[in-house]
Structure 1
Amino acid sequence: MTAHERPGAEASLLDVGQWIRATVPCVTVQDRPARQALIDEILVERRVWQRDYVWHTAQLADGRVIMALGASTEEAERKLAVLHGLGCQWVVRDPEHAVLFEYFPEGHRHPEDVNRVLALTPPRRPRGELTAPSANLPVTPHGRTPGFMR
């Protein structure tokens, strides 16, 4: 795949983020809507479920813990990949900033914390596929196992 070739459906969020970053370098503030339009287009193509915009907390692949606004964890992760050129170790919906406060107990990051690198931690939520139901768990009349919905 060349830098300007649009990534296919199998491409990772990081690959798509790097493609958007290369396609719209965002030299000026006026470039931001074009980047957001590409992000939105990819999310629609991949049928990512959108909710209200809320804050998401993420740990970048380099160890920094950072926040991003998004209507889904996928959108937040894609925005971070576009802005920082890095993948994420994990991303969680965090409207009350509870996860962020675990890393920054004073309730906010100080200027010296912006580039603070933390040890990489395991994902904060399961990602990808739904968990397969266990034979020991009850199944509802609709065939769903309680507690195993996205």
Structure 2
Amino acid sequence: MNTERPGLEASFLDIASWIRATVPGGIGEDRRARQALIDEVLDERRVWRREYTWHTAQLDDGRVLLALGASTEEAEIKLAVLHDVGCQWVVRDPEHTVFFEYFPEGHRHPDDVDRVFPLAPPRQTAR
């Protein structure tokens, strides 16, 4: 696999694939090394970040998940690294308003782990 760092034109999924190849695994030091690469990419792209908060995302395979991030871009890259799939949309969702639309009980049950939803158009940031 080519481990050359993707350029600014690369998709977040391409960047995530590069991060996965560069730092295999996902525990302890590996997580910190992956986060450092994510931070470098976000700095390079001049992504504005604020406080860490929850984001809700729909992956390209239809799953809906929560992710922590200081920006929607950070949340999207983290999800792509973890799940090896791109995102249909990602919104800032500190109160879980959008997430609760998909999971009204406020959490996913074990049966929901692989639950998929019809792909939805891009969402607006939750208010």
TM-score (norm 2): 0.94
Following superposition, which runs of at least 4 residues in structure 1 exceed 4 angstroms of deviation? Answer: none
Across the aligned residues of Structure 1 and Structure 2, the Cα RMSD in angstroms comes to 1.3
Q: CA deviation at 1:27?
A: 5.0
Counterpart of 2:24 in structure 1 is 25
Separation (CA, whole Å) in 1 of partners of 2:114 and 2:32:
26
Counterpart of 1:89 in structure 2 is 88
Which one scores higher on RCO, CA 8 angstroms, separation ≥ 6?
2
CA displacement, residues 15-72 of structure 1 (integer Å, 9 cap, x when unaligned):
1111101111125432100000000010001000001000000000000000110000
Name stretches of at least 5 consecutive residues in structure 2 with no aligned partner: none
Counterpart of 2:97 in structure 1 is 98
Higher helix share: 2
CA distance 1:121–1:35, shift in 2 (3 Å)? same
Name stretches of at least 5 consecutive residues in structure 1 with no aligned partner: 127-150
Separation (CA, whole Å) in 2 of partners of 1:3 and 1:76:
24
**Range 24-33 or range 62-71, more displaced:** 24-33
Task: Judge conservation of contact 1:26–1:35 (CA < 8 Å) in 2.
Answer: no
TM-score (norm 1): 0.80
Separation (CA, whole Å) in 2 of partners of 1:51 and 1:112:
34
Counterpart of 1:112 in structure 2 is 111
Larger Rg: 1
CA displacement, residues 46-100 of structure 1 (integer Å, 9 cap, x when unaligned):
0000010000000000000001100000000000011111000000000000000
Separation (CA, whole Å) in 2 of partners of 1:87 and 1:22:
16
Counterpart of 1:5 in structure 2 is 4
Separation (CA, whole Å) in 2 of partners of 1:125 and 1:12:
21
Separation (CA, whole Å) in 2 of partners of 1:81 and 1:125:
20
